[in-house]
Amino acid sequence: MREVNCHDEKIHLCGNIQSFGYLFIFEDDKCVGVSENCAVIMGAASSTVLGMTVEAVLDHVAPSFGLRGDKIEQAVSQSLFARFVERVTIHQKDYFLSLYRYDGKIYLEIEDCTPQAVKTTKLYYYAKHLEDQREGKSCWQALTELIKDIIHFDRVMIYRFMEDNSGQVIAESRSEELESLLNYRYPEFDIPAQARELYRIFHARHTADVDERAIPIMGKAAENFDLTRCSLRALSPMHLQYLKNAGVKASASFSIIVDNELWGLVACQHREPMHVDLSQRHLCTLLTQYAVNRYLADFQKEQVRLHKSLSQLEHSLKSDLLVKRDLYDVLENYANRIMEVMNGQGLIIKRDRAIMTVGEVPDRKILKKIDEEIGTKEFFVTDRFKCTGFGDDVEIFPGVLRISILPVTNWYLYVFRKERLIEEVWAGKPEKVMQIDAEKKIAFPSPRTSFEAWKKITKGKSEKWRPSELAFIENMTHIIQQSIAQRGGEIDKLNRELVRSNNALDTFGYTLTHDLKNPLTTIQLTAQMLLYKKDVSREFLEKSMKNILEGTQLMNDMMDKVYQMSKVNHVDFVFEPINPRSKILNIVENCKQQYQVSHLEFNMGETLQVMGERTLIYQLFLNLIGNAIKYSSKKENPKVSINSFRDGDTVRYDVKDNGIGIDLKESDRIFEIFGRMSNTEGYEGSGIGLSIVKQIANKLKATLHVESELGVGTTFSVTFNNVPVAI
């Protein structure tokens, strides 16, 4: 006996339409198919319509309708819309006329209009209602309320397809006397595969009256007329019986399409016959798509929030892995946070014989069994792991994830989830009942007769692992592997750093040897004179001692600055958003006292945030502002100003003074270590401040620019790159 399944039925080739409309099908501009009821609007037998042109049929049906000749071809060929639709009057009654091309043919549909006209002026309020998600109301719940208000059905549900193609009601609006079906599950065979495919292609379907006789199409054989995109297509007898068994007289459905896939349906049911006309269906389809866009926007926001949270954890983990030597110790410190992100009840880090556990985990015997069944797989994940051969009192962990931290080593990370008992309420027992046709010797599925709540408890499974969780654990493993690989190159890096450090020390050593000769010579000559000269005067003694003190102080300052330079060269810094305003004000006050410039005129504009390290930012402004105040301190009216400006993703700070200025002919020496300009005599300093500024700017990936005029003043500009607008 041959078995015929629901998905074998060619429902798009049914050869029948519903009674609320009329259908004409044209091929090569001749009518090849017409619904049997067309005599009502044609005023002639339906058989006489066969062979007529589209224009001739329009002349008979709607003489006042202006679509004729080339305009007909334009109407069915336009790319902006799938079909041409107009409201027309036939025999003093309003109809919707639709004209479209499909499968090499032209289809003309005429259907009844309902007295309740759709008010397009309400579109704005409909959209606002979908956006209003107060009190935890989802866009799907809002959509059911709107569609119920538009078509006035007893029940409007959002039916979401699950991974196994079964469905679940996730939102519902209904008449008060009806029992709620919210969260009810429906089996896959309730909506067979070919029906789902039609829903994916054509987004609005409805049945006005399940008891109304279907109207046959005259002309060619039924299988020659593909009614996939026909709004009037009759439902299959099996589906009509299904609706009758459910106590439904009229139904409507609107496809929820996400990423070109059928995500779900807006399923509408009414206990009495009810026609939903074309304008109502179009409005419901539009609002359904609007709800999809709202859902996707909310989903994307949640994904961005989750990604940001996971990225912060990954960044923190990466930083610790690079700084701390013991990777195993780092993972132990992060174990609880990893388990929380993975929504696990337990976690194990296993390296050779060492095992570290967090939360609730299987014992070692079960862990060994898990390892034996997983084998050498580097990444394994399941929500239904079965561990047989142990007693009933053993804790069940069907959710198992194991990932190899280092391939070729016995170093693994496990995350476990406990069994989650799930009670599902189904609209009737999800079982397919077959009927036998003895004559044809076939067995075919019978429409379900029972829709009473049937409870099913699912055991042996954990909550499913989400894609974001799996992506996080894989990223975390890659970070660990990258850290280990990076450490593999640390020796070479340290060697290169040592060479660079030695070169820098050579430079410092040469500079010290050369520039310390002057203060050392001064100290030596002064000491010799004091040693050998007899009867020195008090005045000469004081002058000599002052020379010695100044020389030693100069040497001490220079060595301090060299030490500062060595720190700037060798320290790695973590950048963060900084507004230097408070630092600048503090520096200005200290420098006014240091250089005794109480009458300084200081102006500061807006201070924008920059990306940097706090110590470096302080040193940078300390040297720039210190120089500005120092070299303008002997002016009658010393002035210093600081301003910041944004240009795209850069922020520029200008430190301007009216001091002695710089001869830009010597610009190649401005940032040299100990390189003092020729006009700085009479001002204290060792010439290392701007060298430090240059080194700091390099560390901050900032650029320096100098504008100056001798005797007029100097402006130092520092431009910070890659500064986000909102930090």
pLDDT of 341 higher than 80: yes
pLDDT, one tens digit per residue, over 81-134 is 678 888 888 888 889 999 998 888 999 999 999 877 677 667 788 888 888 766
182, 200 contact by CB (below 8 A): no
pLDDT of 572 higher than 80: no
Mean pLDDT of 498-516: 48
Beta bridge partners of 218: 34
Name the residue type at position 265.
Answer: L
pLDDT more than 70, % of the chain: 78
Mean pLDDT of 42-63: 86
Q: And the tokens for 25?
A: 């099908």
pLDDT at 503: 47
pLDDT at 444: 44
Say how many C-beta atoms besides its own lie within 10 A of residue 333's C-beta.
12
pLDDT, one tens digit per residue, over 509-543 is 444 543 454 456 557 666 777 777 767 777 777 77
pLDDT at 518: 46
pLDDT of 172 higher than 90: yes
- Read off the pTM: 0.60
pLDDT at 265: 94
Q: Are strands 2-3 and 442-446 parallel, antiparallel or unpaired?
A: parallel
pLDDT grade, residue 328 (50/70/90)?
A: confident
pLDDT at 691: 76
Residue 502 vs residue 416, higher pLDDT: 416
Query: Phi then psi for 219, rounded to 5 degrees?
Result: 125, -130
pLDDT at 401: 93
3-state secondary structure of 650: strand
pLDDT at 435: 58
pLDDT at 604: 94
pLDDT at 380: 92
What DSSP designation does 113 have? P
pLDDT of 250 higher than 90: yes
Q: Are strands 2-3 and 16-17 parallel, antiparallel or unpaired?
A: unpaired
Beta bridge partners of 718: 653, 704
209, 232 contact by CB (below 8 A): no
Average pLDDT value over all residues in the chain = 80
**CA of 496: how far to CAs of 228, 321, 324, 565, 701, in Å?**
71, 22, 21, 19, 21
pLDDT at 117: 67
pLDDT grade, residue 329 (50/70/90)?
A: confident
pLDDT at 245: 85
Q: Any idea what the Cα angle at residue 433 is, between residues 429 and 436, rounded to 5°? A: 170
pLDDT grade, residue 432 (50/70/90)?
A: low
3-state secondary structure of 109: strand
Beta bridge partners of 527: none
pLDDT of 59 higher than 70: yes
- DSSP string spanning 259-308? TTEEEEEEEEEESS-----HHHHHHHHHHHHHHHHHHHHHHHHHHHHHHH
pLDDT, one tens digit per residue, over 649-681 is 999 999 999 998 888 876 666 776 545 565 566
Mean pLDDT of 268-289: 92
pLDDT at 515: 47
The Cα–Cα gap between 290 and 397 comes to 42
Mean pLDDT of 458-463: 81
pLDDT of 80 higher than 60: no
Name the residue type at position 185.
Answer: R
pLDDT at 356: 87
- The interaxial angle of helices 614-632 and 538-570, nearest 10 deg, is 150
Residue 348 vs residue 314, higher pLDDT: 348
Least confident of 48-62, 133-147, 396-410, 545-559: 545-559
The Cα–Cα gap between 700 and 611 comes to 8
Q: And the tokens for 406?
A: 């280092």
The Cα–Cα gap between 333 and 331 comes to 5
pLDDT, one tens digit per residue, over 366-424 is 888 888 888 888 899 998 888 766 555 456 788 999 998 876 667 889 999 988 877 67
pLDDT, one tens digit per residue, over 600-643 is 999 999 999 999 887 778 778 888 998 899 889 889 899 999 99
Q: And the tokens for 21?
A: 């409309």
pLDDT at 718: 95
pLDDT at 284: 92
